[in-house]
Amino acid sequence: MSVIQRIRDQGAWIIFGIIAIALISFILQDGLGRRGSLFANTNTIGKVNGQAIEKDEFEKKIELYGRNQPREQLIPQLWNQEVNTILMQQEYDKLGLKCTNKELSEVMFGENSPLKREFTDPKTGMFNADQARQAFAQLKKSKNTEQLDQITEGYIKPTIQQTLQQKYQNLLSQAAYAPKWLIEKQKSENGSIASVSYVYVPYSSVSDSAVKVSDEEIVAYATKHRKEYEKDEETRAISFVTFDVAPNAADSAVTVNQLNTIKPEFVAAKDMKTFFTKTSSEMQFYDSYITKNEIKQPVKDSLFKLAPGATYGPYADGNNFVIAKMVDAKQWPDSAKVRHILVATHQQDPQTQQLVRTREDSAANKRMDTIVALINSGKSFDSVCAQFSDDGNKDKGGVYEYFITSRMVAPFNDFAFGKPVGSKGRVETEYGVHYVEVLGQKGSSPAYKIAYLSRPINVSNETVNTISTAAAQFAATSKTKAQFEENAKKLNKSATPATDLKENEPNVPGLTSARQVVRWAYEHNVGDINEQPFEVNAGNNNNKLVVAILTAVNKPGIPSAQTLRPQVEMFVKNEKKANNIIESKFKGSSLEAIASASGAAVQKADSLSFSNAFVPGIGNDNKFLGLAFNKDLKAKVSPAIAGATGVYALRVENNGTKPVTDTDENVKQQILQGQRMAVYRGSEALKKDASIKDNRSKFF
């Protein structure tokens, strides 16, 4: 647990704030952007235009940011962050952009301070910059290394980078320029319209099964469109078979027996909240009512028939078995609208998701007394809410527009749906004390309070051993590609291809946390099969054992046909279909003759806009649009064209213009906006042009 988290857990938010300010000031005193010995060791995991990224420093950031995220998922995110930071800093240096001590101080202690949460007074809801500065004066000489690293990485460096990035973007944005000729051209294009007649035969009119595509044709197409398919780094392809580490019938029976053992106590319990405080369940008890449409249980129709106190189950619900008990039922509104003022006693920590106390109950109730007194005296609800509420919607009068049951914590839900419209009163929840007014209710449906005693179906050691043995036997007897495929067929398993794996990928399509599989693929040769099954996570706590065969090594350049086929095959098929359609159906020199030969109708498209490539009945097709505005085709029939979705021939009936309502200034701003948006994509252009050496695979 981090130092910051420990301090928060102890409720000493002000202590953390004091330390933060002291460390910030310490950095400000010593100067910004100290470098020198940051990259003293030789464990270089990469270089960006010659600037090293060292393993020790990278590991510190993994530890700092990796509290609630799998390591293998975090590594590529941090790598991209490091690369982008270095590239942008190199640009800032070239331009002489700096974030001065004064600028950093203004941001840190200003209205948009990144420390706002730590230094917000829970009594007033205001950021207390003066208190922060006083705290800094008291701990100016603090040099705690661990805290320094956390504050530097978590607050100082990001603030400096954001400030520099804003300057950089402003600099480039202000350089945007729209010459007069471009404005006039854009206005002319915006006002251009065309009307055409055409015959269209879609590719779907030819069956896919009637068109065969060879590997040679796949590669030839990709070579012809080299810019789209050429790879600048090596990738690898595998095919893999999985063995689900999943519970079997015997494991399910164990869970059912556990539930049946507890069932008599569950049936006899009168107080469900007390029962669940001493009895574990995968589903928490929601001590309020939920309308029938919002209950998602697979056996809900059976549950609705239960009398109060009756139970149903055990029944299967996903990876759990459940016994449901009907506590009570009543008629309730389908939705409710309320407004409220919250005096918080707890707030949820975004990192741990735990509730952390921010105010004592006695102080909260005293504050609520003031709120109620002000409202009763005639003070407007909106103004009192804006001044006192701790909820995020206080600037909207504390209003929650119509919401359905179960969306709020139980006491709040009870008041919003169980009280008549116009009711006002206090409601206490785990978040604090609320003053709630019911503004409206809609509809009416049966609502149910149901308790669910739920236990997971766990995989037994015996089941794991059986599955592991089957996977190991599959790997041991699969020495060649033919044996791999034959063994998979015997087990009625399908091998899943993964055709474009990059060296530092953390996952394989269909498998998360599969870094070990990718590393194996880059350490072996085509045809190799892993001798020991990999254990990976496929998401939703679904573990699998994986046996893979390396099927291809794709060197930089045009990939293999096997890798390309999923992306390219459709386009090659469409080219073949186009040739077939043109040769067999586009006969004659007039649209009417072509329509007769192809069995299609002559269609019309009026008022096509040059600024919009959408064609009714065809879709977006730039070729069609280009022909429609070709004045040489007026009253003439174009050749048959293979478009995006089918083959067509057209005749231009008319080219004209429509009034353009946009002023020169509006068009200019549209052009400038497009140029400025490109600024935000600048890091990708810099990355493409940079010299980046990535050695992560040697370390992770």
Stated length of the chain: 700
Q: Is 175 helix (H, G, I), strand (E, B) or coil?
A: coil
- Lowest mean pLDDT across 124-128, 195-199, 425-429: 124-128
pLDDT at 26: 43
Which residues lie across from 357 on neighbouring strands?
346
* Single-letter code of the amino acid located at 126: M
What's the pLDDT tens digit per position in 98-122? Answer: 999 888 888 888 888 887 777 776 6
Question: Mean of the pLDDT values across residues 609-614?
Answer: 82
From the CB of residue 276, how many other CB atoms can be counted at a distance below 10 Å? Answer: 19
Question: Mean of the pLDDT values across residues 280-308?
Answer: 95
Q: Which residue has tokens 């394989």? A: 508
Any idea what DSSP says for residue 36? S
pLDDT at 72: 82
What are the structure tokens assigned to 397, written together?
Answer: 């009068």
pLDDT at 550: 96
- Lowest mean pLDDT across 404-418, 447-461, 537-551: 537-551
pLDDT at 67: 67
Q: Which helix (H) or strand (E) holds 341?
A: strand 335-344
* Single-letter code of the amino acid located at 215: D
What are the structure tokens assigned to 618, written together?
Answer: 């065809």
Give percent of the chain above pLDDT 70: 90
What's the pLDDT tens digit per position in 418-452? Answer: 999 999 999 999 999 999 999 999 999 999 999 99
Residue ranges with strand state E in 443-584: 445-456, 496-502, 534-537, 543-554
pLDDT at 41: 45
pLDDT at 243: 95
pLDDT at 537: 75
What's the pLDDT tens digit per position in 386-414? Answer: 999 999 889 889 999 999 999 999 999 99
C-alpha neighbours within 13 Å on the C-beta side of residue 157: 16
Question: Mean of the pLDDT values across residues 560-581?
Answer: 93
**Residue 66: Cβ-neighbour burial (10 angstroms; 0-12, 13-18, 19+):** middle
* Single-letter code of the amino acid located at 543: N
Per-residue pLDDT for 142 more than 80?
Answer: no
- The phi, psi pair for 663, rounded to 5°, reads -80, 165
CA distance 233 to 1: 39
Residue ranges with strand state E in 137-263: 192-202, 235-244
Which residues lie across from 272 on neighbouring strands?
none
Give percent of the chain above pLDDT 90: 61
Per-residue pLDDT for 270 more than 90?
Answer: yes
| Alpha carbon of residue 69 to chain centroid | 14
What are the structure tokens assigned to 439, written together?
Answer: 């503004």
Comparing C-alpha atoms, which of 440, 405, 409, 411 is closest to residue 423?
440
Per-residue pLDDT for 497 more than 50?
Answer: yes
* Single-letter code of the amino acid located at 383: S
Is the whole-model pTM more than 0.75?
Answer: no
From the CB of residue 313, how many other CB atoms can be counted at a distance below 10 Å? Answer: 23
- Lowest mean pLDDT across 7-11, 606-610, 625-629: 7-11
- Count Cβ neighbours within 10 Å for each residue of 335-371 and write b for 16 or more, e otherwise: bbbbbbbbbbbbbeeeeeeeeeebbeeeebeebbeeb
If one compares 461 and 6, the residue with the highest pLDDT of the two is 461
Any idea what DSSP says for residue 419? S
Which residues lie across from 434 on neighbouring strands?
342, 427
CA distance 79 to 53: 9
What's the pLDDT tens digit per position in 316-362? Answer: 998 999 999 999 999 999 999 999 999 999 987 765 678 888 899 99
What's the pLDDT tens digit per position in 201-225? Answer: 999 999 999 999 999 999 999 999 9
CA distance 604 to 197: 4
Question: Mean of the pLDDT values across residues 678-698?
Answer: 83
Q: Tell me the torsion sign for CA atoms 116, 117, 118, 123.
A: positive
pLDDT at 7: 29
What's the pLDDT tens digit per position in 43-94? Answer: 899 999 999 999 988 988 888 777 667 788 889 889 999 999 999 999 999 9
What's the pLDDT tens digit per position in 467-496? Answer: 999 999 999 999 999 999 999 999 999 999
Looking at 419-560, list the stretches that DSSP marks H as alpha helix, in order from N- to C-terminal side: 461-477, 481-490, 515-522
**Measuring CA to CA, how many Å separate 202 from each of 199, 320, 602, 606?**
10, 49, 14, 20
List CB contacts of 66: < 8 A, sequence separation 6 or more: 74
Q: Tell me the torsion sign for CA atoms 67, 69, 70, 76.
A: negative
What are the structure tokens assigned to 235, written together?
Answer: 């990738």
Any idea what DSSP says for residue 637? B
From the CB of residue 87, how many other CB atoms can be counted at a distance below 10 Å? Answer: 22
